[in-house]
Each structure stands twice: as structure tokens, then as C-alpha cells.
Amino acid sequence: MPILPRIWPSIPSAVTCRWRTKRPFPRPIRIFHGAAADWTPIGPCQAYVDRLQAAGLHAVLFACPGAHHGFDNPGTAEQQLPTALSPRRCTSVEQDGQIVDGEISTPS
């Protein structure tokens, strides 16, 4: 298999990091995230990386100072949408083969 298809899943950017799974990710993870992102705040990603590192897995978060959501796509204009629907407060957890809401433990 060519190298890029194997490594792309381990290099996310502007993700929510609110997904919890029982299975560890099999590759090192590098997350690039805008430190000023309000659509997908960086806090949950730092907590995710901390959990992975505590479990002995190799994960690193690169915080890009002043960068907002979409910073990795220079072809789009920066937008501020503080009241728009977003996943910033959602937590999905894998439980018994289903994806459930992490706050109330019901299927998503």
C-alpha cells in the first residue's frame, strides 16, 4: 500500500476530538488545530491527546496560534459563526457496538 493512504488517517486537522472508542488507534497521531478555533475548540483535542499519551500511545497536538477553524484551507475566507450549529459540545462514545451520546448514553 502506498505510504500516503496509510498515514493520512493519523494526521487530522480541525477535528472535534470528542469521539471515544474502546479500540486504540494503531498509528502515531499528529493533530494540527487552530488555537483560536471556536467551531471545534482545541480543549477536547488536548484532553484526547493527554488520554492517549497516558495510555502509552504516541500522539501529539500542534496548536497553531491565532488560527481559526479552516486554517488549513487557504482557499476559503475566515468566518466567525458563534451561534451556528456545530459539534463543539457533542461527545460520542462507542459502547457495545453502537455510537451513543456521551452525556446521556443513548444512541446517537
Total count of domains within the chain: 1
For residue 49, is it within any domain?
yes
For residue 77, is it within any domain?
no
pLDDT tens digits, 9-54: 566 655 667 666 666 667 788 888 888 888 778 888 898 889 889 9
The closest of 83, 53, 77, 60 to 13, measured between CA atoms, is 60
For residue 38, is it within any domain?
yes
Boundaries of domain holding 58: 3-72+90-101
Residue type, 79: Q
> pTM for the whole thing?
0.66
For residue 48, is it within any domain?
yes
For residue 17, is it within any domain?
yes
For residue 106, is it within any domain?
no
For residue 29, is it within any domain?
yes
